[in-house]
Amino acid sequence: QVQLVESGGGSVQSGGSLRLSCVASGGDSYSSSCVAWFRQAPGNRREAVATIDNYDDTEYVDDVKGRFLISKDKAKRTVYLQMNSLKPGDTGRYFCTTRRYCYSLNDYSRVWDQESTYDYWGPGTQVTVSS
């Protein structure tokens, strides 16, 4: 069983930056090699933001391309989401999630943005962007 804990959320003004962290524990590295960030605004369904695999291949939703950067520190079993040029539309709760038995984005590239692709979820961290 993998446990995930997110941190780094907060309140910022439009145009500001935040860096979210997701630390994995338990299980083994194979259980947390493919990681994604999702977010959920009040009243909306959870939506994908970005994903990274064991080889540091990444995917992003169009809305965050050029503004967000996902990266990982394998030794620390930590995945980061650097968020720049934040907009009020980025407000929401951000969740970290992992896919079991996964090393390569090639294995899930067509479904990377679907919640059902992933097996473990953290409790989330709140991001609020004011105009």
Contacts with 59 (C-beta within 8 Å, 6 or more apart), sequence order: 50, 51, 105, 109, 112, 113
Gap between the Cα atoms of 34 and 49, Å rounded: 14
pLDDT at 29: 65
Write out the two tokens for 12. 């910022």
At 33 the pLDDT is 83
Which residues is 60 bridged to in the sheet? 50
Q: pLDDT tens track of the chain, all 131 residues?
A: 899 999 999 999 999 999 999 999 988 766 678 999 999 998 999 999 999 999 999 999 999 999 999 999 988 999 999 999 999 999 999 999 999 888 899 999 999 999 999 999 999 999 999 99
Q: How far apart are CA 52 and CA 42, in angstroms?
A: 26
* Residues 49, 61 contacting (CB under 8 angstroms): yes
Is residue 123 within 8 Å of 97, Cβ to Cβ?
A: no
- Position 5, amino acid: V
